Amino acid sequence: VEKFKGIFPAFYACYDEEGNISESRTKQFANYLVSKGIQGLYVGGSSGECIYQNLEERKLTLRYVAEAVGHQITLIAHVGAPSTRDSIELAKYAEQLGYDALSAIPPIYFVLPEDSIYHYWTDILESTNLPFIIYNIPQTTGYNLSIQLLNRMLQHGKVIGVKNSSMPVMDIERFKTASSNNLILFNGPDEQFVAGRLMGADSGIGGTYAVMVELFLKANEFISSGDIARAQQIQSDINSIIIALCSLNGSMYSAIKEVLKKNNMDIGSVRKPLQPVTGEDLQKIDEIKAMIDQ
């Protein structure tokens, strides 16, 4: 359980200049994050642009990250995909590669009944021996995890956690309580990291961590040591940065990748339909980098 506690950046898609998955950039970026002192990585999730990649590409990223970092940190593979068949293929592959846990969003596109979500997650978790972390992200999937389905899932001993990206921090407390405090809760919304931790989240998985990982590591330490005022101050700095990252033309992930480029960490651009940051907005990247470096 201890290995799932801490700061887990959501790993970004690393492309070459042609927009293909880049082995060298993926490995370099994974090593860079490990050197910062993170607890683990969440590979192939929303921030990994999984929704825009085919199965082979997703496997490449899973493999390159595992090859680069080995067992130095905890690796969670996100295997949510449009079909159960593809999710199972990714799950088995992640297990072979030595990943520590699997995670998946509920089925997407068709609005399926809860029973189908139960079977989707169950089929994935029965396909390997790995523990499973439910990914609750209602703002993109349209489904908010209910206590009923959580209880049903908990009957599988393999469900060890929930990554909760819903906005009410109360959900973190409710899920934790429903499991008699046995589940590991991961805070999803980076803007509420401190609040999520105070409501019972043990850890955080976030899409903006990797561009300002020191801030999240520090906030996490301050919470652990009970220095709430300083944790709040860092959260406030983080939120100003997130708002700036989201204020440019182009996607937040493109803005993040431009900042990383300025830090000599070139992981390429984003895949369409995500739009790159262009024109005058590119000049604002320096200001955002300065906010982060402060």
Catalytic residues: 135, 163
Out of 7, 10, 68, 169, the only residue in the binding site for ligand NAY (CB under 6 A) is 10
Residue 34 CB, nearest distance to ligand NAY (Å)? 18
Residues in the chain: 294
Q: Looking only at residues 104 through 143 of this chain, which bind ligand NAY when binding is defined by CB under 6 A?
A: 137, 139-140
Asked if 129 contacts 102 with a C-beta cutoff of 8 angstroms, the reply is no
Out of 47, 61, 136, 141, the only residue in the binding site for ligand NAY (CB under 6 A) is 47
Q: Looking only at residues 213 through 242 of this chain, which bind ligand NAY when binding is defined by CB under 6 A?
A: 242
Pick 207 or 250: Cβ nearer ligand NAY: 207
Site membership for ligand NAY, residue 188 (CB under 6 A)? yes
Out of 40, 106, 107, 206, the only residue in the binding site for ligand NAY (CB under 6 A) is 206
Handedness of CA 44, 7, 260, 69 (dihedral sign): negative
Out of 73, 169, 194, 205, the only residue in the binding site for ligand NAY (CB under 6 A) is 205
Residues that bind ligand NAY (CB under 6 A): 10, 42, 45-47, 137, 139-140, 165, 188-191, 205-208, 242
